[in-house]
Chains A and B, each alone.
Chain A
Amino acid sequence: MSNSPITMALAGNPNAGKTTLFNKLTGARQHVGNYPGITVDHKEGYFNAGENKITLTDLPGTYSLTAYSNEELVARNFLTTQKPDVVINIVDASNLERNLYLTTQFLEMGVPMIIALNMMDVAKDRGIEVRADKLEELLGVAVVPIIARTGEGTEELIRRTLQLATTNSGWRPVDISYGEDLDEVVPELIQTIQKASFLTSQYPARFTAIKYLEHDDEMLKAGQKSDQKTADKLEKLVGYVSDHLQKTMDVYPEAIIADHRYGYIKSILRQGILTHKFDTDRLYTSDKIDKVLTNRLLGPFIMLAILFGLYQFTFSWSELPVTWMENVFGWLGGVVETNLPDGMLKSMIISGVIDGVGGVLGFVPLIMFMFFGIAILEDSGYLARVAFMMDRIFHLFGLHGSSVMPFIVSGGIAGGCAVPGVMATRTLRSPKERMATLLTVPFMNCGAKVPVLVLLIGAFFAEHMALYMFLFTLLAWLVALVAAKFLRMTVLKGEATPFVMELPPYRFPTLQGLLIHTWERTWQYIKKAGTVILSISILLWALMTFPGLSPEQQAVYSLKRKTLSSELAHNSAKLKTALILVDQEESGAQLKNSIAGTIGSFFEPLSSYAGFDWRTNIAMLGGFAAKEVIISTLGTVYSMGEVDTKDAESLGDRLVKDPNWNPVTAVSALLFIMFYAPCFVTVVCIAKESSWNWALFSMAFNTFFAFAASVAVFQIGSLF
């Protein structure tokens, strides 16, 4: 052990026993004064532990580290300016929940900390048993039970404190989640702070970001004094998110943060930390609800029922509006067909834009209803309970309860996105658990895959749409978990880490909040359709148009028409039918001869094992850009192969009529779409969060797995 002086600080709630312990350790070797400028006592003492001389500061009792009182400011400023080697956080074991609120703030700050779990005798008298070992495991910091009054446990406390002091592990802030809205803005704030080295000599960047969100006066003042430009930028960012929260949930960020801190504490305490010998019937409303909704036996069934109910609600209420949308685009196609002369632009607008993008936009009503349902689950706080309940199951597959939220965000309930899901894995402490989660979240049914699934399920399994959607959602979870288990048993072997997850109190969602959240996501869907999907559809239309048929090939069809016209001149009805068939044959040949058709045909010998023809191949290739492109590409492909667009059918109807498509092909395609390579942006995100090797692995592994599954299903299904 080092002989240099070691500085320690005692911190905790008032009446937790700090001064008792301080006096026990330092005895007469103490000095009491005042912090400059304020009437708060400054108590410092000395003691020896072996060969080590220790300076011990007894900080004022505080309930938190906000800027509401002098005591809190003193405690906070001491920690950030003096940077003691170790902070001993005295926690009253008989009042754990309240005391741990300050502890979470120390964790957020990342100070080197050890918890002295004091008043164990008082807790015992009240019939409260505290599992210090479990608490240590969950918090990730040393926890030592003591009775400061008698000195019991203090030797072990000093031994472990010295161990921590000499380890010199530095400040390691813990990432506590504050919910989706704040979790999105915190990285942006941190980036701004780090780029400008804004107060970074005093506070960790994340701590500064959180204090800005809490509208901490002292931090705001310090920020303005240090760097006004950056301070203004941070205040502006915080202002936006604050306004957004006001509109959607009628709360300020500091309330959300406090809720989630308490949720974090609750989640820890629920895991067998406390045992009450005497009946304590002091449950709050959220706890009462949780008793039912997260019940060990009932909870999972309720969860599945809610999920099924969500799909039932979505499909039944959106059926009519989706039909209206299809009719609108059908009418639009008819208007263009009638009013524009034949030519390239007409083909681009009808086949590329209307039948392409229209196919995606046609699902807007369905997407809206689905997002509305998900908003209810999110805003009420129920989704956090889903994560909590899934923890047990996730451990079986080598994953972690903290992996549940990235899965849900990626589309576990349907309608998410893998990009924030991948980024959400940052909260996972274990690198290997994080990698396993990161690589498997793309298996979820994101918001882009949902319309594709709905199209195929709606076309081939129309009678039980909600049931099939529900089953495919469960399948996505199963495959993701099995893949994770495989990775954790092979390339990503390692220990599991304990799970702590915030359980914020239930809220009654406001209608305004629900509508705003629904509209935000729906607008993203529409915006993407009008930008990314539209541009890719136009590009794919071009690839499906050029180079066109050669003059020799065109001459063949002209000759056919001439021959038919002379042979069937007496029968105009038969002639018309025959000419339409020739036109269709020519359109099909032109399509197959195009760049996209050539590429699709190239893969056909292989893809045919999974039941995919060259047109489906084009769609799957397009899906790499964005999964919705599968619909727009199928829409364009089938539109371009069509001659008479006046009687426009929905894409689903066209697929059903195509002899290359049947329910077995549909299931094969569904499996492939669900599991093959993630979209381009997700691949880039995986590369950023890990490496390009892992990103490429993700593409290759997912595609190989998806193809194998599709082939198996198609080959076996075709036998029946």
Chain B
Amino acid sequence: MWQTIISFCIIVITLFFIGKRAYRQIRKAIDPASEISCDCGCSGCSSNGDSRK
């Protein structure tokens, strides 16, 4: 029972995380003033905003 509860909690948190990320990317696409920066998480970027800061 406890395994089921924990699993469901993890799934909900995961859905929230994915939804938030997808929403951010789509917002960047719609907003003409913003850039799709390398913090998309692509492994090909040599650095991203986080690593410079």
Residue of A nearest to B1 (CB): A343
A525 within 8 A of B: yes
Residue numbers in A under 8 Å from B42 (CB-CB): 417-420, 446-448, 524, 528, 681
B4, B11, B28, B47: the one within 8 Å of A343 (CB): B4
Q: Please indicate the chain B residues that have their CB under 8 angstroms from the CB of A527 in the complex.
A: 41
What does the 1/0 interface line of A7-26 toward B look like (CB < 8 Å)?
00000000000000000000
CA distance A188 to B42 in the complex (A): 18
- Knowing A345-B3, A346-B3, A542-B11, say if A187 contacts B35 (CB, 8 Å): yes
Identify which of B21, B25, B37, B46 contacts A520 (C-beta below 8 A): B46
Roughly how many angstroms separate A410 CA and B43 CA in the complex, as a whole number?
Answer: 11
- Grouping DSSP codes into helix (H, G, I), strand (E, B) and loop, the B interface class, with mixed when no group exceeds half, is helix
A426 to chain B, nearest CB (A): 11
Interchain CB contact under 8 A, B47 and A244: yes
Give chain B residues whose Cβ lies under 8 Å from the Cβ of A531.
Answer: 17, 41
CA distance A420 to B36 in the complex (A): 9
Residue in A340, A344, A528, A539 whose Cβ sees the most chain B Cβ within 10 Å: A344
> Chain A at the B interface: mostly helix, strand, loop or mixed?
helix
- Contacts of B26 on A, CB cut-off 8 Å? 684
Cα A180 to Cα B17 with chains together (Å): 30
CB-CB < 8 A to A685: which residues of B?
Answer: 29, 36, 40
B residues less than 8 Å from A626 (CB atoms): 41
Contact B4 A344 (CB under 8 A): yes
Q: Are A680 and B46 in contact (CB under 8 A)?
A: no
- A423 on the B face (CB < 8 A): yes
Residue A453 at the B interface, CB < 8 A? no
Within 8 A of B (CB), among A513-553: 517, 520-525, 527-528, 531-532, 535-536, 538-539, 542
Question: Shortest Cβ distance from A390 into chain B, in angstroms?
Answer: 19
> Number of contact residues on A: which range applies?
35 or more
Within 8 A of B (CB), among A319-341: 340-341
Which residues in B have some Cβ–Cβ distance to A below 8 Å? 2-4, 6-7, 10-11, 14-15, 17-18, 21-22, 25-26, 28-29, 33-38, 40-48, 51-53
Whether A539 contacts B45 in the complex (CB less than 8 A), given A345-B6, A532-B21, comes out as no
**A521–B3 touching, CB < 8 Å:** no
- Closest CB of chain A to B50's CB: distance in Å? 9
Question: In the complex the two chains form, is B46's CB within 8 Å of A180's CB?
Answer: yes
In the bound complex, do residue B38 and residue A184 qualify as a contact, i.e. CB atoms below 8 Å apart? yes
A528 with B18: in contact, given A344-B7, A684-B28 (CB under 8 Å)? no
Expressed in whole angstroms, the Cα–Cα distance for A343 and B5 within the complex equals: 11
The 5 closest A-B CB pairs, nearest first, are A417-B44, A343-B3, A417-B42, A345-B3, A525-B43
| A348 neighbours in B (Cβ, 8 Å) | 7, 10
A688 to B30, CA, bound (A): 7
Select the residue from B29, B35, B38, B44 with max chain A CB neighbours within 10 A: B44
**Do A681 and B44 form a contact, CB below 8 Å, given A240-B52, A348-B10?**
no
